[in-house]
Copies of this chain bind each other. A is one copy, B any other.
């Protein structure tokens, strides 16, 4: 039984939106506590996660709410089928091993595969598995944090290894205030670095207004941002527009994450919906004479 604000954070849907969905579509349909405040039972939270996922896949609320719960699940599974838990090594990593063992495994794999393959073959599936496991209750929150924490540290160390060279392009990678899902961007940063860019990954969330200043000071030629599902598409777009206006037009913007569909167009902005696109993107736009 949680309150509306908590729910909003959990599922990544604004408080206003939750209320107006209730008004318009009759769902969610919370109980009320003694104060008359909305109180959402767990099953509805779960259902809203499904709804949010479908929305991220590009479906409109009116269409989504016209379906029954079972129909939603069916459609969703049809849209995103890929069973990650076939990989038993990954499963063990995610749910059994001790912290130092996780570290050891990850480091060993990184060594063996090299950074790029590590990201593609282990990093991405790992995040996905954590996500799925957390949603369907297989993995505890604590476990999820434990594992993602190890991965995060490893990737950051990997980023640090390359020494700065004056002639290389610099890329500033950062998440904005309110954004907490850094792993995707972190992996992107590793890939960018593999393509020869010097990546500066900023861990802490930064207010939008600070970005142009920092970019200028560091003399970067690009800024990469991640918008997870917790941003609505609209907010992501607004933020990007603001940034594009306040930033040197020569500095490239690269945006990724669930919240940015390919629809946004802006000068010198590149949407990156798949990590595999990074390699092509670099060759096109960050070649040395650029």
Query: How does the 8 Å CB contact mask read for A1-42 relative to B, with 1 for contact and 0 for none?
Result: 010011001111000000000000000000000000000001
Q: Which residues of B lie under 8 Å from residue A207 when comparing CB positions?
A: 9-11, 141
Instruction: Tell me whether A142 and B210 are in contact (CB under 8 A).
Output: yes
**How far apart are the CA atoms of A156 and B157 in the complex, in Å?**
10
Instruction: Tell me whether B9 and A176 are in contact (CB under 8 A).
Output: yes
Minimal Cβ-Cβ distance residue in B for A238: B6
Q: Does A211 touch B at the CB level, under 8 Å?
A: yes
Partner of A204, one of B42, B100, B149, B214: B149
Instruction: Tell me whether A145 and B10 are in contact (CB under 8 A).
Output: no
Instruction: Tell me whether A140 and B208 are in contact (CB under 8 A).
Output: no
Q: Does A59 touch B at the CB level, under 8 Å?
A: no
Instruction: Tell me whether B12 and A163 are in contact (CB under 8 A).
Output: no
CB within 8 Å of B: which residues of A?
2, 5-6, 9-12, 42, 45, 98-100, 103, 140-143, 145-146, 148-149, 152-153, 156-157, 160, 163-164, 176-180, 200-204, 206-211, 213-214, 217-218, 235, 238, 242
